[in-house]
């Protein structure tokens, strides 16, 4: 009984870790994203988030091309993309962060319309790239 409890306490932290998602999970999220557009980043604003280790990111981008859209986006529309980035300590295990884009970046964007009216990344760390 004592060995079983010791083993349980040693293995329990392994079940609590959040691991990086497999590529198939990101591919599924990309396939389900309501918006798939090509964007050009016009402006990026990064400010401190509510928690000490978070940052709020606002990307203002122009739509260059529309592959699919649930909200009627068209080329030359301007979209706001909002999301939060968390700084994790060294050695942290978990899903990759959505990258902070830079001005003039041109990339695909897998998005979903949020309750605030802005768009949000719909495929985690693979929201602004393809395989």
- Residue 74 dihedral angles phi and psi, to the nearest 5°: -135, 155
Provide Rg for the chain, Cα atoms.
Answer: 18
* pLDDT above 90: percentage of residues in the chain: 70
For residue range 6-63, list pLDDT tens digits in order: 434 444 444 444 467 888 999 999 999 999 999 999 999 999 999 999 999 999 999 9
Q: Are 119 and 37 in contact (CB under 8 A)?
A: no
Percent of the chain with pLDDT over 70: 85
Q: How confident is the model at residue 93 (pLDDT cuts 50, 70, 90)?
A: confident
Mind giving me the DSSP string for 6-63? HHHHHHHHHHH--PPPPHHHHHHHHHH-SEEEEEEEEEEEEEE-SSTTEEEEEEEEEE
Q: Is the pLDDT of residue 3 over 70?
A: no
In the chain, where are the structural domains located?
Answer: 21-126
Round the average pLDDT of the chain to a whole number and report it.
Answer: 87
CATH architecture for segment(s) 21-126:
Beta Barrel (2.40)
């Amino acid at each position: 009984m004592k060995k079983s409890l010791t083993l349980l306490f040693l293995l329990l932290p392994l079940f609590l870790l959040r691991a990086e998602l497999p590529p198939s999970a990101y591919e599924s999220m990309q396939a389900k994203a309501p918006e798939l557009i090509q964007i050009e980043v016009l402006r990026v604003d990064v400010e401190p988030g509510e928690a000490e280790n978070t940052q709020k990111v606002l990307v203002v981008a122009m739509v260059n091309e529309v592959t699919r859209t649930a909200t009627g986006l068209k080329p030359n529309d301007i979209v706001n993309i909002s999301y939060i980035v968390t700084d994790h300590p060294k050695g942290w295990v978990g899903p990759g962060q959505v990258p902070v884009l830079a001005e003039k970046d041109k990339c695909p964007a897998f998005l979903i319309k949020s309750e605030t009216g802005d768009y949000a990344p719909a495929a985690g760390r693979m929201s602004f790239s393809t395989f």
